[in-house]
């Protein structure tokens, strides 16, 4: 019989270390069809529904509802036959995965699909760095051949798996994500698309868009200072954010970029173009900050101060267009993330400097007007955080897209269209 693991990778790009199993839609022994909802997990910022990859029977559940599973872990098995897997079903959080990092070992040692070259009971030998990069890039190490001593998978092996045909002139850092905290790189192309998230978010804001951008591109999603994995980095001003991004790119050996920025990240992208330290090839801005004074200060304050999922959900809903709802568990996941990385103070400090008294204390219009590269602005007509009317301040050369029914986060609300528009900007540079 063939077993098909249900794994977190099928949920798409994911940069968290662990996910929470919210609910199983089937129980062991149930017949499932490819495409059926099988399990709902809570990821960085969203409840993600995982669909069955094959027709068959759900024969095993490895992580019960309420348990945390490492990213890359096998959550359960779908078998071609009705036989039940012999392993006991986990009904209680097991001490290993509950303890945290050691659960990763289970993840990589778990049985994998029959098509992979390794026997199911093979322990994968990989360096800690290789494991970390694979986890971040969503690569299953079972499919990677190790070239180190004892067949150990090293960083170079994962890099090769990520990009079997590296371009000769490729900047070094991108092939590997080596050591660059907060940088995620996938795909391949000489000039990367650098994505800058908005206030209070992190690089996972791009998780729906990234897989839709296409294969032959290079992307880098950064955690801005005060956010995500860069919480310990100071940030006082838009210029400082821009300098930080430019230092980060320089450290990676990146000289040419396509910029994509959302909200605060949009303002940061514009500030970066003024620095002149990187050669910007194109700019795509999603509801960018800095084009006018108005901003919904209540939203910003509510975002930083809410301490319960219910309270936060009320405010987060303002990100979306009218009548739209957040995915279930989203607010709880955001709260958990804020508490885990402890950046509430950093966010409040940033609010004080940038958005005090419902006002955007910085003007990016001159930077926008000075651009001489392809420029595109995408704004939801129903944006309740920064009014879409700011788009009217765009210079004539910029393409402006006003999306009906969309709020402040086109990348979440209209990921396919957003991805398409980003790629059109990028391709328009030739």
Partner 1 sequence: MALMRYAEALNAALREEMAADPSVFLFGEDIGRYGGVFKVTKGLMEEFGESRVRDTPISEQAMTAMAVTAAMTGTRPVLEIMYADFIPLSLDALVNQASIYNYIWDGKVKMPFVLRTQGGGGSGAGAQHSKALDSMLAHIPGIKVVAPSTPADAKGMLKAAIRDDQPVVFLEHKLLYNVRGEVPDGDIIVPLGKAATLREGKDVSLFATSKMVVEAVKAADLLQADGISAEVIDLRSLRPLDVNAIVTSISKTHHAVVVNEGWRFCGYAAELSATIMDFAFDELDAPVARVTLPDMPIPYSEPLEIAMLPNADKIRAAALATLK
Query: Tokens in use for 147?
Result: 């070239």
Site string for partner 1, 226-245 (x = CB under 8 A): --------------------
Residue 28: CB atoms within 10 A of its CB come to 15
The answer to whether 143 and 117 have CB atoms below 8 angstroms apart is yes
Among 55, 90, 105, 154, binds partner 1 (CB under 8 A): 154
For residues 323 and 318, what is the distance between their CA atoms, to the nearest angstrom?
10
Query: Tokens in use for 72?
Result: 């890359």
Classify 200 in phi/psi space as left (phi over 0), alpha (psi -120 to 50) or beta: left
Cβ distance to partner 1 smaller for residue 154 or 305: 154
Query: Tokens in use for 379?
Result: 């704004």
The answer to whether 403 and 381 have CB atoms below 8 angstroms apart is yes
Minimum Å gap between C-beta 367 and partner 1 is 33
Cβ distance to partner 1 smaller for residue 88 or 128: 128
Among 10, 53, 106, 178, binds partner 1 (CB under 8 A): 178
Cβ distance to partner 1 smaller for residue 178 or 301: 178
For residues 266 and 44, what is the distance between their CA atoms, to the nearest angstrom?
22
The answer to whether 152 and 127 have CB atoms below 8 angstroms apart is yes
For residues 199 and 224, what is the distance between their CA atoms, to the nearest angstrom?
9
Give me the residue label for tokens 């000289």. 255
Beta strands 218-222 and 183-187 are antiparallel
Cβ distance to partner 1 smaller for residue 163 or 252: 252
Among 25, 37, 90, 129, binds partner 1 (CB under 8 A): 129
Cβ distance to partner 1 smaller for residue 147 or 308: 147
The answer to whether 422 and 429 have CB atoms below 8 angstroms apart is no
Cβ distance to partner 1 smaller for residue 113 or 130: 130
Beta strands 68-70 and 18-24 are antiparallel
Q: What is the DSSP letter of 249?
A: H
For residues 169 and 175, what is the distance between their CA atoms, to the nearest angstrom?
11
Decide if residue 381 touches partner 1 (CB under 8 A).
no
- Binding span for partner 1 by CB under 8 A among 144-152, 197-205, 263-271, 364-372: 144-152
Collapsing DSSP to helix, strand or coil, 180 comes out as coil
Cβ distance to partner 1 smaller for residue 154 or 160: 154
Decide if residue 160 touches partner 1 (CB under 8 A).
no
Residue 119 makes CB contacts below 8 A (sequence gap 6+) with: none
How many residues form the binding site for partner 1 (CB under 8 A)? 14
Minimum Å gap between C-beta 233 and partner 1 is 14
Decide if residue 155 touches partner 1 (CB under 8 A).
yes
Among 93, 148, 211, 214, binds partner 1 (CB under 8 A): 148
Decide if residue 131 touches partner 1 (CB under 8 A).
yes
- Binding span for partner 1 by CB under 8 A among 128-136, 258-266, 365-373, 387-395: 128-136
- What element of type H or E holds 76? strand 74-79
For residues 152 and 401, what is the distance between their CA atoms, to the nearest angstrom?
49
Minimum Å gap between C-beta 107 and partner 1 is 15
Minimum Å gap between C-beta 155 and partner 1 is 5
Decide if residue 179 touches partner 1 (CB under 8 A).
yes
Cβ distance to partner 1 smaller for residue 23 or 127: 127
Decide if residue 123 touches partner 1 (CB under 8 A).
no
- Binding span for partner 1 by CB under 8 A among 63-71, 177-185, 369-377, 398-406: 177-185
Site string for partner 1, 56-85 (x = CB under 8 A): ------------------------------
> Across the chain, which distance is largest between two alpha carbons, in Å?
67
Residues that bind partner 1 (CB under 8 A): 127-132, 148-149, 152, 154-155, 178-179, 181
């Amino acid at each position: 019989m063939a077993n098909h693991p249900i794994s977190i990778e099928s949920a798409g790009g994911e940069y968290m270390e662990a996910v929470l199993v919210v609910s199983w839609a089937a129980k062991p022994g149930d017949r499932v069809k490819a495409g059926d909802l099988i399990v709902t997990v809570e990821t960085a910022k969203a409840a993600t529904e995982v669909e069955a990859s094959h027709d068959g029977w759900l024969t095993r559940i490895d992580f019960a509802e309420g348990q945390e599973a490492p990213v890359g872990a096998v959550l359960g098995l779908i078998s071609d036959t009705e036989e039940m897997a012999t392993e006991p079903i986990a009904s209680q959080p097991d001490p290993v995965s509950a303890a945290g990092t050691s659960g990763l070992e289970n993840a990589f040692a778990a049985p994998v699909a029959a098509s992979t070259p390794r026997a199911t009971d093979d322990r994968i030998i990989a360096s800690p760095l290789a494991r970390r990069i694979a986890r971040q890039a969503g690569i299953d190490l079972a499919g990677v051949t190790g070239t180190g001593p004892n067949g150990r998978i090293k960083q170079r092996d994962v890099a090769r798996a990520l990009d079997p045909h590296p371009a000769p002139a490729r900047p070094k850092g991108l092939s590997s994500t080596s050591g660059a905290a907060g940088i995620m790189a996938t795909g391949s192309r000489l000039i990367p698309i650098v994505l800058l998230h908005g206030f209070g978010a992190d690089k996972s804001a791009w998780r729906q868009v990234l897989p839709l951008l296409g294969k032959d591109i290079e992307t880098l999603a950064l955690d801005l200072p005060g956010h995500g994995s860069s919480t310990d980095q100071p940030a006082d001003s838009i210029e400082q954010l821009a300098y930080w991004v430019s230092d980060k790119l320089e450290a990676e050996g990146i000289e040419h970029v396509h910029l994509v920025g959302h909200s605060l990240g949009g303002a940061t992208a514009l500030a970066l173009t003024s620095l002149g330290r990187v050669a910007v090839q194109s700019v795509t801005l999603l509801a960018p900050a800095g084009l006018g004074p108005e901003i919904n200060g209540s939203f910003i304050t509510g975002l930083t101060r809410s301490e319960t999922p219910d309270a936060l959900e009320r405010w987060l809903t303002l990100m979306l267009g009218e009548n739209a709802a957040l995915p279930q568990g989203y607010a709880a996941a955001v709260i958990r993330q804020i508490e885990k990385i402890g950046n509430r103070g950093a966010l409040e400090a940033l609010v004080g400097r940038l958005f005090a008294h419902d006002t955007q204390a910085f003007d990016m219009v001159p930077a926008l007007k000075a651009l001489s590269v392809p420029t595109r602005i995408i704004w939801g007509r129903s944006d309740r955080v920064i009014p879409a009317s700011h788009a009217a301040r765009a210079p004539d050369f910029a393409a402006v897209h006003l999306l009906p029914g969309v709020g402040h986060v086109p990348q979440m609300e209209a990921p396919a269209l957003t991805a398409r528009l980003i790629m059109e900007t990028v391709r328009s540079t030739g």
